[in-house]
C-alpha cells in the first residue's frame, strides 16, 4: 500500500454514501448528489436525481428505462477499462458479473488503488460479463451472503430441478418469481441453454428490461405476454413474473400453478415457507461465502472494507487471516433484489 496516503483520504463513508473527497464524487449514493459513479442498475444503488452520472452504457440505459430520460442532470457512459480522471483521481470500471452492465469501480490516486465491488458474483452468467479481479490495496466488498451457511448450488442444477418438475406435472403451470432486473433474464437464458426453446410467457412488468437486455445483445429467445386474452391457462408452460405480481389477482389466471421462486434467499427454508413457495430455486446474483472469501484470497488486498450485508462474519474471517477489515455499515442498500 502507498505509504503516504491513507485510504480514508481517498474514499470515506458519508451519510449520502461512499464519497471521494479529492475527486468530489460519490459511488452509488443513496441521496441526490452533484456527481455520482453508479455500479449497476438495481434501485438501491442507482437512484434518480443526481447531477452528473458516470456508469456503463448498459446501466445508464437501465436507469433511463426505470426513471425516464431526465433521471440525471447529465450522463457519461464509461466502457469497461476506460479511464476518466477528476482532480488527479483516476476512475475506471471493471465487470462485476452481477447483472447486465454491472461494474466494480476502480479508483486510483497517488499510487493507491481501491476497488469498490458493488454487488458481484463469480458464477457464470450468460447475460452479463464475468467478474474481473483487479489488484488493489483496498478491496471494498459487498457482504449480502457473507455467512458460511450460504453456499449457492450451481444454477444449472436449479434449472434442471424446475424442468424436472415440469416433466412431473405437465398439466400445471410453473409460475417463476424472479426480480425484474437480472434474475428474470438469467433464468430465461439458463432455460434456453437447457433446451427450453418454446415461447416463454412473461409478465408485462418485465418487458422493458427484457428489451434493454435484447438491445445490448443478450438473446432471450421468443417471449410472449402472459395474458389469458391471448392464450389459455398456460398449462405446461413456464411463466416468469416479478415477485410483486405473485401476490396479486394476476396470478389467479393460471392452471393450478406450481409457485416457484428464484433467489439466493431460497437457501433459507423459512424464507421459502414464508412466501409459500412450493419450488424454491436457489439462484443468486450475489457472491456466496466461498466466492466472497475466495475473491479476497485471490486479490490479497492490504485491507478490506465491507459496504453492506452481513459484515461481521466476513470481517472476522479477514481478521483471522491477518487482513485488517472494517464494516462501513452503509445504509440504504437492501437485499431485496436477489
Backbone angles phi, psi at 317, to 5 degrees: -60, -45
CB of 59 to Zn ion, least distance (A): 11
Q: Which is nearer to Zn ion, 42 or 203 (CB)?
A: 42
Q: Which residue has the cell 419450488?
A: 279
CB of 132 to Zn ion, least distance (A): 17
Q: Which is nearer to Zn ion, 119 or 137 (CB)?
A: 119
CB of 72 to Zn ion, least distance (A): 19
Looking at residue 38, the DSSP 8-state letter turns out to be: -
50 binds Zn ion, rule: CB under 5 A: no
What is the maximal distance between C-alpha atoms in the chain?
69
Rounded CA-CA distance 76/90 in Å is: 15
Rounded CA-CA distance 338/336 in Å is: 5
Rounded CA-CA distance 56/76 in Å is: 8
Site string for Zn ion, 296-335 (x = CB under 5 A): -------------------------------------x--
Rounded CA-CA distance 315/76 in Å is: 34
Order across the sheet with 35-37: list the strands.
12-14, 17-20, 25-27, 35-37, 50-55, 72-77
Q: Which is nearer to Zn ion, 1 or 328 (CB)?
A: 328
Rounded CA-CA distance 292/228 in Å is: 43
Q: Which is nearer to Zn ion, 50 or 286 (CB)?
A: 286
Q: Which residue has the cell 474514499?
A: 11
Q: Give ∠ CA 181-183-189 in degrees, rounded to 5.
A: 110
Stretch that binds Zn ion, among 38-46, 64-72, 240-248, 275-283 (CB under 5 A): 38-46
143 close to 293: Cβ distance less than 8 angstroms: no
Stretch that binds Zn ion, among 68-76, 112-120, 132-140, 218-226 (CB under 5 A): 112-120
42 binds Zn ion, rule: CB under 5 A: yes
Site for Zn ion in 246-305 (CB under 5 A): none
Grid cell of 3 as nine digits: 505509504
CB of 230 to Zn ion, least distance (A): 33
Q: Which is nearer to Zn ion, 317 or 333 (CB)?
A: 333
Choose among 1, 10, 12, 44: nearest CA to 328: 12
CB of 17 to Zn ion, least distance (A): 12
Site for Zn ion in 59-98 (CB under 5 A): none
Stretch that binds Zn ion, among 9-17, 53-61, 114-122, 224-232 (CB under 5 A): 114-122
CA distances from 279 to 165, 206, 303, 324 (A): 9, 21, 40, 41
CB of 42 to Zn ion, least distance (A): 4
Q: Which is nearer to Zn ion, 125 or 337 (CB)?
A: 337
Stretch that binds Zn ion, among 12-20, 42-50, 54-62, 68-76 (CB under 5 A): 42-50
Rounded CA-CA distance 275/279 in Å is: 11
CB of 70 to Zn ion, least distance (A): 23
Choose among 209, 263, 219: nearest CA to 59: 209
Q: Which is nearer to Zn ion, 131 or 333 (CB)?
A: 333
Length of the chain equals 338
CB of 337 to Zn ion, least distance (A): 5
Number of residues that bind Zn ion (CB under 5 A): 4
119 binds Zn ion, rule: CB under 5 A: yes
CB of 333 to Zn ion, least distance (A): 5
How buried is residue 113: exposed, middle or buried, by Cβ count under 10 Å (0-12/13-18/19+)?
A: buried
Q: Which is nearer to Zn ion, 2 or 30 (CB)?
A: 30
Q: Which residues bind Zn ion (CB under 5 A)?
A: 42, 119, 333, 337
Amino acid at each position: 500500500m502507498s505509504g503516504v496516503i491513507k485510504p480514508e483520504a481517498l474514499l470515506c463513508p458519508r451519510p449520502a454514501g461512499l464519497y471521494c473527497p479529492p475527486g468530489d464524487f460519490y459511488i452509488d449514493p443513496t441521496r441526490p448528489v452533484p456527481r455520482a459513479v453508479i455500479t449497476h442498475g438495481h434501485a438501491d444503488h442507482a437512484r434518480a436525481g443526481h447531477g452528473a452520472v458516470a456508469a456503463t452504457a448498459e446501466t445508464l440505459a437501465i436507469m433511463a428505462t426505470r426513471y425516464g430520460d431526465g433521471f440525471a442532470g447529465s450522463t457519461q457512459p464509461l466502457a469497461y477499462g476506460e479511464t476518466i480522471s477528476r482532480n488527479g483521481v483516476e476512475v475506471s470500471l471493471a465487470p462485476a458479473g452481477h447483472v447486465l452492465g454491472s461494474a466494480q469501480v476502480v479508483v486510483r490516486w497517488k499510487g493507491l488503488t481501491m476497488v469498490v465491488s458493488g454487488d458481484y458474483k463469480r458464477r457464470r452468467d450468460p447475460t452479463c460479463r464475468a467478474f474481473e479481479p483487479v489488484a488493489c490495496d483496498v478491496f471494498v466488498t459487498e457482504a449480502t451472503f457473507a455467512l458460511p451457511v450460504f453456499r449457492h448450488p450451481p444454477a444449472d442444477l436449479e434449472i434442471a430441478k424446475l424442468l424436472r418438475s415440469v416433466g412431473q406435472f405437465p398439466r400445471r403451470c410453473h409460475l417463476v418469481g424472479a426480480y425484474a432486473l437480472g434474475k428474470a433474464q438469467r433464468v430465461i437464458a439458463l432455460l434456453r441453454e437447457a433446451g427450453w426453446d418454446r415461447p416463454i410467457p412473461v409478465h408485462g412488468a418485465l418487458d422493458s428490461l427484457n428489451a434493454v437486455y435484447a438491445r445490448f445483445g443478450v438473446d432471450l429467445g421468443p417471449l410472449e405476454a402472459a395474458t389469458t386474452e391471448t392464450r389459455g391457462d398456460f398449462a405446461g408452460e413456464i411463466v416468469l413474473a416479478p415477485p410483486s405480481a405473485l401476490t396479486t389477482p394476476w396470478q389467479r389466471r393460471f392452471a393450478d400453478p406450481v409457485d416457484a421462486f428464484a433467489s439466493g434467499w431460497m437457501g433459507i427454508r423459512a424464507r421459502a415457507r414464508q412466501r409459500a413457495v412450493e419450488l424454491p430455486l436457489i439462484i443468486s446474483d450475489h457472491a456466496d461465502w466461498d466466492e466472497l472469501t475466495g475473491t479476497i484470497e485471490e486479490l490479497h488486498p492490504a485491507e478490506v472494507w465491507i459496504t453492506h450485508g452481513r459484515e461481521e462474519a466476513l470481517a472476522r474471517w479477514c481478521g483471522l487471516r491477518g487482513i485488517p477489515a472494517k464494516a462501513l455499515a452503509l445504509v440504504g442498500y437492501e437485499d431485496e433484489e436477489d
